[in-house]
Amino acid sequence: MAVSRTTPTADAGQPIAEAPSIKLEADRAYDELRDRIVTLRLAPGTVLREDELMRDLEVGRTPLREAVKRLALENLVAVQPRRGTFVSAVEASDIVNITEVRAELEGYAAALAAERLSDDHRAAAEALLREVEELGESGDQDWLMRFDERIHRFAWEATGNPYLIETLERYFTHSLRIWYLVLDRLPGLGHAVHDQARLVEALLAGDANKARALMREHVLDFQRELLAAFSRA
């Protein structure tokens, strides 16, 4: 008896998709667009042209639109009826408003991290501390910023709270974009990264109050530097 060969189907009787799902494509498009916006490859005010982005990112119209919706919800793009979709502008007030939220949430996250540090996180913290101690005072600005970001992300992850991590990720993205805008007017970041050694030490010591205070002041110091640089624009 001949065996018939049929296309595998899902429970609903529909063919199983062999191509990447729309959600995966939308996630990829979102990650790429967000990175371009943050690093200013798509500068504030840039018009997002759908057909160009579809070709450039090699994604379909539906996943691209899903990605743009997410970026609009995060205030990274602005959709203006009858005019188009633009990369959102950055104002000095954004620095203050974002920092008001970040200072409290980052401080809270650092306190939680100090209380919840697992053995694996402790080993990672000790490795970070060694890296900080080996840093020179000078260095590539972008690399230093990425290293500072690693320390922030480490503290978030150590909280074990996915909702807090997601929220902090969103606000950190906005701060990072502002940093790229004023990069050429900022003093060296070496001292700021070295200051983070005290935070890592507080996490290792389980000192929640000190960790909260250090992280909060770190975020506020960064705000002051950003505002000063923004005013020189």
Q: Token digits for 122? A: 């402790």
Q: Token digits for 112? A: 């939680």
Phi/psi at 15 (nearest 5 deg)? -60, 140
In terms of C-beta density within 10 A (0-12 exposed, 13-18 middle, 19 or more buried), how is residue 225 classed?
middle
| pLDDT for 230 | 80
How many other CB atoms are found less than 10 A from the CB of residue 145?
18
What's the CA gap between 106 and 154, in Å, rounded? 11
Residue 219 clears pLDDT 70, i.e. is over it: yes
Residues 6+ apart with CB under 8 A from 189: 139, 141, 144, 145, 148
Percent of the chain residues past pLDDT 90, beyond the cut: 61
Each residue's pLDDT tens digit, 114-167:
999 999 999 999 999 888 877 765 557 777 888 888 999 999 999 999 999 999
* DSSP codes, 11-33: TTSPBPP-SPPHHHHHHHHHHHH
Helix ranges (DSSP H) in 60-161: 61-73, 92-116, 119-134, 141-159
Cβ atoms of 218 and 171 closer than 8 Å: no
| pLDDT for 159 | 97
Each residue's pLDDT tens digit, 22-42:
788 999 999 999 999 999 999
| pLDDT for 190 | 62
| pLDDT confidence bin for 2, thresholds 50/70/90 | very low
What's the CA gap between 171 and 185, in Å, rounded? 22
What's the CA gap between 179 and 171, in Å, rounded? 13
Percent of the chain residues past pLDDT 70, beyond the cut: 87
Letter for the amino acid at 34? Answer: R
Residue 75 clears pLDDT 90, i.e. is over it: yes
Q: Token digits for 199? A: 């935070």
